[in-house]
Amino acid sequence: MVEIIKKFANNQIIHAVIFLLFFWFVYGIRDIILGIFISYIIAVGLIPLVSFLKNKRIPNVLAVIVSYIGVLALLFLIILPLIPFFASQFQSLFKMFPRYLDQTSRILGLNLAIPDISSLIGSELDVVSKNALSVTSRLFGGLFSVVTIFVVSFYLLLDIERIRKNIVGLFPQRSQNKVYTTFKRVEEKLGAWVRGQILLSFFVGSITWIVLTIAGLEFALPLALLAGILEIVPTIGPIIAAIPAVIIALNSSLAMTIIITGIYVGIQVLENNVLVPKIMQRTVGLNPVVIILGILIGGKLFGIIGSLLSIPFISLLLVVFDSFKKGK
């Protein structure tokens, strides 16, 4: 009996050590895993477009190339003409915002120490100049990572069916149908999330810009862009996006503050009752507590990108768990 207990204890210790080593290994390559996950999300987001082109008798390789070039060209055509205007708007907002914060703190009776932006910029530039080689290396490293992500996503999309079958082939024969079905469900959910999130961000950003412009609030375009970007972060993203707008409005008048607050509340009501049900109906719904925990954990492990991608990752895990729990 004692020997059995010792053997059992030894097995448990071995399993625990293996698990810890595996966790340590995964944590060590977390940046690589994050890059692969981003590449996978981009690939599954483009699957419907590639499938549409293939149904038009266009070869797979050409369909993938046309999809990538088409999407990138569209982005450049939309973004490039707006860069000078965005740059001037953000520069003005950057200069004015400390004054807005200072005036807001006085209005609210707060004693906030607002840092001098120009001195902060000067000190940061001094640090950058002293570490020019390190900064340049990081910039090139970041650019290389972006290029690598797009290259990997290209090859994933090019061979996604073969990759899927190879991974499924690693499982026992009796489980392969279930694994293949789960793969398809994951791709469907992630793809729907990508396309739905882009549409949501576009609609929320556009509506915010139009309404803030009509209301006469300064810096409507940067605030709208911020609202569109933070739309990716559920629950807390829209709240964070509203804070700068309310601070700017508070420096104008109480009436403007009430109007701007009402605008952001109205946009949220429109989003939650019209846009989300229509656009995101095929994505996985998550509890707000799970969302916040996921954002915090993702941010701790992977930074800002981890926070943004925590929701699709949790959705992926839920799809896998639900599939195996139901045995389908």
Over residues 207-246, the pLDDT tens digits come to: 999 999 999 888 888 899 889 888 877 777 888 889 888 8
Q: Domain total for the chain?
A: 1
Please report whether residue 14 resides in a domain.
no
Owning domain of residue 234: 27-326
Please report whether residue 15 resides in a domain.
no
Residue 100 has pLDDT above 50, yes or no: yes
Confidence of residue 136 (pLDDT cuts 50, 70, 90): low
Please report whether residue 219 resides in a domain.
yes
Q: What integer best gives the mean pLDDT of the chain?
A: 76
Interval 96-120 mean pLDDT = 62
- The answer to whether 66 and 53 are in contact (CB under 8 A) is yes
Q: What is the DSSP string of 66-99?
A: HHHHHHHHHHHHHHGGGHHHHHHHHHHHHHHHHH
* Whole-number pLDDT of residue 214: 92
**Residues 157-177: pLDDT tens digits?**
888 888 888 888 888 888 778
* Whole-number pLDDT of residue 125: 45
Please report whether residue 6 resides in a domain.
no
More confident residue, 30 or 155: 155
Residue 274 has pLDDT above 80, yes or no: no
Interval 171-195 mean pLDDT = 80
Please report whether residue 18 resides in a domain.
no
Q: CA 297 to CA 291: how far, in whole Å?
A: 10
Please report whether residue 41 resides in a domain.
yes
* Whole-number pLDDT of residue 210: 93
Nearest Cα to 99, choosing from 114, 78, 119? 114
* Whole-number pLDDT of residue 161: 80
Both tokens of 300, joined, read: 């701790």
Please report whether residue 4 resides in a domain.
no
Confidence of residue 111 (pLDDT cuts 50, 70, 90): low
8-34 per-residue burial string, b: 16 or more CB within 10 A, e: under 16: eeeeeeeeeeeeeeeeeeeeeeeeeeb
* Whole-number pLDDT of residue 263: 92
User: Among 56-60, 106-110, 218-222, 267-271, whose mean pLDDT is lowest?
Assistant: 106-110
Q: CA 171 to CA 187: how far, in whole Å?
A: 19
Please report whether residue 10 resides in a domain.
no
Residue 137 has pLDDT above 80, yes or no: no
Taken in order 117, 141, 82, 45, the sign of the CA dihedral is: negative
Confidence of residue 280 (pLDDT cuts 50, 70, 90): low
